[in-house]
């Protein structure tokens, strides 16, 4: 249970006036950037501006109160990562426009491919960062942890791709190119995200860089971009195989 104790409770034991001043200063700087950005993201998502503010404020408090690290990647960093990844992904899909027009069903699974890769990668990195933070994971266990994640990734990828395969066979009968493209792409994306989510924080730790500072945004951007790229390449190959 000690490992599950929020960092806030541990930090308060040795909290000083200087720490408070630093935290207030950092909070004001982040708020200047995060609050206007949250309004913009709310409008871009089609909801009211105040809902963006509520999300930014409530999420900020929850992350700070329950987080397991003194450094949290949230707010503007994560938002900018999403924007950058979205721009690059749109450029990749622009070259895939002809295939999407020929088989529109492929477009339905783009959010699933991107979202699944991002979630798997962030989850894998969170486990590694937590292990490095509480001492349960040694940096010398790089190969062992990577091998463990390969096995977990294989299990996750197999189950997810099998579920998607059955779903497409039932609800998209006859569209075998789409069915194969989605299933194989999902398997490849989950495996890639698992390995990346494990390797990046371990590599940063080995380079004496705090993994919590760069793991989230880097993995989010990488999974979004490479996930779409993997989907485009595999879908193109299967469409050509089926004569589209």
DSSP string, 86-103: HHHHHHHHHTTHHHHHH-
Same domain, yes or no: 80 and 6: no
Same domain, yes or no: 28 and 100: no
Under 8 Å between Cβ of 221 and 73: no
Same domain, yes or no: 81 and 56: no
pLDDT at residue number 83: 62
CATH number at residue 84: 1.10.357.20
pLDDT band at 158 (very low <50, low <70, confident <90, very high): very high
| Closest to 89 in 3D by CA, of 239, 220, 184 | 220
Same domain, yes or no: 152 and 218: yes
Same domain, yes or no: 59 and 88: no
Same domain, yes or no: 7 and 113: no
Flag whether pLDDT at 147 surpasses 90: no
What's the first-to-final CA gap in the chain, in angstroms?
56
Q: Find how far residue 155's CA is from the centre of its chain.
A: 19
Average pLDDT, the chain: 78
pLDDT band at 160 (very low <50, low <70, confident <90, very high): very high
pLDDT at residue number 185: 94
| Residue with more model confidence, 209 or 239 | 239
* Per-residue model confidence as pLDDT tens digits over 51-92: 878 887 887 777 777 765 665 555 555 555 566 666 666 777
Same domain, yes or no: 58 and 93: no
Domain closes at, from 68, 97, 127: 68
Domain closes at, from 23, 50, 68: 68
Angle between helices 110-134 and 176-206 (to 10 degrees): 20
What's the pTM? 0.66
| Closest to 230 in 3D by CA, of 116, 150, 154, 127 | 116
The structure tokens listed for 139 are 């940096």
Residues of the chain by 3-state class (helix, strand, coil), percent to 5: 85, 0, 15
Same domain, yes or no: 106 and 34: no
Domain count, the chain: 2
Helix (H) or strand (E) segment spanning residue 200 = helix 176-206
Same domain, yes or no: 56 and 147: no
Same domain, yes or no: 9 and 81: no
Of 54-58, 140-144, 205-209, 223-227, which gets the smallest average pLDDT? 140-144
Same domain, yes or no: 120 and 166: yes
Same domain, yes or no: 47 and 167: no
Domain closes at, from 68, 83, 114: 68
| Residue with more model confidence, 223 or 161 | 161
Under 8 Å between Cβ of 86 and 224: yes
**How many Å apart are CA 124 and CA 107, to the nearest integer?**
27
Domain span including residue 234:
73-241
């Amino acid at each position: 249970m000690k490992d599950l104790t929020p960092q806030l409770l541990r930090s308060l034991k040795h909290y000083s006036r200087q720490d408070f001043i630093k935290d207030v200063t950092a909070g004001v700087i982040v708020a200047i950037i995060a609050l206007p950005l949250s309004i913009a993201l709310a409008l871009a998502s089609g909801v009211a501006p105040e809902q963006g503010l509520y999300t930014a404020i409530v999420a900020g408090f929850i992350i700070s109160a329950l987080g397991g690290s003194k450094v949290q990647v949230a707010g503007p960093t994560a938002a900018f990562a999403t924007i950058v990844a979205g721009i690059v992904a749109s450029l990749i899909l622009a070259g895939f426009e002809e295939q999407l027009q020929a088989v529109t069903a492929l477009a339905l699974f783009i959010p699933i491919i991107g979202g699944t890769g991002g979630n798997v990668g962030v989850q894998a990195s969170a486990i590694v960062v937590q292990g490095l933070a509480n001492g349960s994971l040694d940096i010398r266990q790089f190969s062992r942890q990577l091998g463990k994640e390969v096995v977990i990734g294989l299990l996750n990828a197999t189950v997810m791709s099998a579920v998607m395969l059955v779903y497409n066979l039932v609800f998209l009968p006859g569209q075998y190119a789409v069915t194969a493209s989605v299933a194989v792409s999902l398997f490849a994306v989950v495996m890639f995200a698992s390995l990346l989510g494990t390797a990046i924080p371990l590599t940063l730790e080995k380079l004496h860089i705090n993994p919590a500072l760069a793991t989230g945004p880097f993995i989010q951007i990488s999974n979004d971009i490479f996930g779409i790229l993997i989907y485009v390449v595999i879908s193109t190959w299967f469409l050509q195989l089926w004569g589209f």
